[in-house]
Amino acid sequence: MNSTPTIAEWLVSYGNQAFEVVGVLAFALSGLIEAARKKLDLVGMAMVTALAAFGGGTLRDLLLNRRPFFWVENEFWLWAILGLCALALFFMRARHIELTERATQWPDALGLGIFAAGGTQIALDANMSPLIAVLMGVITAVFGGVLRDVVVNEIPRAFNDHQPYAVVAFAGGWVVVAANALNWSSFLAVGIGSLAIVSVRLAAMIFGWRLPTWRV
């Protein structure tokens, strides 16, 4: 009997891990840029980068009672964060890179999509209801950025930039739910959900879409 995995099985096994890698690195980069903008030292950069990369997934794992936490299970993430910060500290100084608030938003948008879709899928795999799963996806995607902004003494961007952010993550989570209802593979569900979220978030940034605000 042939036990060689099919392409579909390979994608499900390793594709979701690839999404996690891209999502963690994207949020880590957003935290790194924000820390560099605030001119933090290496310790500060590492803390802000780790909070952005791990904060949302850690809260999700706590709420879903998943142990060990995803970054504890994969210790190489800690070394990757430390190495990324050390390299960036010298590279950014040497290249005189101009760091702007908008530079933070591009990797943040990528992390938002992957973490929202991936968090939703993880909750669905844990037999959570669709609404709870979507909320877990939103928490996974948003909470790390909130911690990042709070630590650098900024009002969290998710709360005050008036552009679709958590709303996009919430809507994209339902794309993942729908894909699961159609019995699509988890890789495809996360991929399509991520693409939808990232596309809408980038469009909101480029075209300046705004949510309604309170008129006082």
C-alpha distance from residue 205 to each of 76, 124, 180, 199 (Å) = 33, 30, 29, 10
Q: What does DSSP assign to residue 12? A: I
From the number of C-beta atoms within 10 Å of its C-beta (0-12, 13-18, 19+), residue 75 rates as: exposed
Structure tokens at 49: 């980068």
Question: Which phi and psi (to 5°) does residue 75 adopt?
Answer: -65, -20
Distance CA 31, CA 73 (A): 22
| Cα–Cα distances in angstroms (integers) from residue 143 to residues 31, 88, 91, in the given order | 12, 24, 28
Report the pLDDT value the prediction gives residue 182, as an integer from 0 to 100: 94
Is the preceding omega at residue 68 within 30 degrees of 0, hence cis?
yes
Q: How confident is the model at residue 205 (pLDDT cuts 50, 70, 90)?
A: confident
Q: What share of the chain is helix, strand, coil (3-state, %, to 5)?
A: 75, 0, 25
SS3 74: coil
Beta carbons of 124 and 133 less than 8 angstroms apart: yes
pLDDT in tens, 7-46: 555 455 556 677 778 888 888 888 888 888 888 888 888 8
Note the pLDDT tens digit of each residue in 57-92: 899 999 999 888 878 887 777 888 888 777 776 666
Query: What is the arithmetic mean of pLDDT over 195-212?
Result: 87
- Which of the residue ranges 33-37, 144-148, 164-168, 175-179 has the most confident prediction, judged by mean pLDDT? 175-179
For the range 6-13, what are the long-range contacts, defined as Cβ-Cβ under 8 Å and sequence gap of 24 or more? 8/185, 11/185, 11/187, 12/185, 12/186, 12/187
Tokens read off for 166:
């958590």
For the chain, the domains span 13-207
- Provide the whole-model pTM: 0.83
User: Which of these, 111, 129, 115, 110, lies nearest to 180 by C-alpha position?
Assistant: 129
Please, what is the Cα angle at 191 between 202 and 121, to 5 degrees?
110
Q: What is the pLDDT of residue 34?
A: 84
* Angle in degrees, CA 146, 102, 209, rounded to 5: 85
Structure tokens at 80: 């990757």
Q: How confident is the model at residue 124 (pLDDT cuts 50, 70, 90)?
A: very high
Rounded Cα–Cα distance for residues 45 and 26 (Å): 15
pLDDT at 194 over 90: yes
